[in-house]
Amino acid sequence: MANRTTAYLSALIVFLVDQASKWAVAGPLGLTREGDFITLLPIFNFTRVHNEGISLGMLQANSDLGRWLLVAMTGAIALAVAWWISREDKRGDQLALSLILGGALGNIVDRVRFGYVLDFLDLHFGAWKPFYVFNVADAAISIGVVILLLRALFVREKAPEGTNEHA
């Protein structure tokens, strides 16, 4: 049970860091209009972008119906991930799921409040942009998914002693 509590607390921390970073960009840093930017490094800006779709610009919600359908879809995914955490015994998978849950909740709150997700992390090398502009929630979700995939592909749990896994 303690591991699950840690997973839910980790999700809460991801959510709070995501929301705080978006508040800082839109408030104290003064990026109030879409397209506003601050150059931090030659390869990295804070650039305000309003994402009305989901990852990679798919499923654009150009209407109120589309917006609320995305909220419902991502809400259902968040509930499924929260349920999965409650059933998962492997700590590594719980961590990955907590990143996904915290990120999903952060983006859901944006979509409910604003009708779009606020993205601002802009990595670029000259004109080449290897990623869309993203936010802390997007990064957490992506890292969580990669951890789950790597664990599924490369981590093998030891069989309990006294069992023959080749039987």
127: which 2 tokens? 């004109």
- One-letter identity of residue 95: L
The catalytic position among 18, 93, 110, 119 is 119
110 catalytic residue (yes or no): no
Residue 164 has pLDDT above 90, yes or no: no
| 138 carries an active-site annotation | yes
pLDDT (0 to 100) of residue 59? 58
Q: Specify the pTM.
A: 0.87
81-124: pLDDT as tens digits: 999 999 999 999 999 999 999 999 999 999 999 999 999 999 99
pLDDT tens, position by position, 25-48: 999 999 999 999 999 999 999 999
List the catalytic residue out of 18, 93, 110, 138.
138
Strand order across the beta sheet in which 117-123 lies: 37-41, 44-51, 117-123
Q: Is the Cα torsion angle 106, 107, 112, 116 positive or negative in sign? A: positive
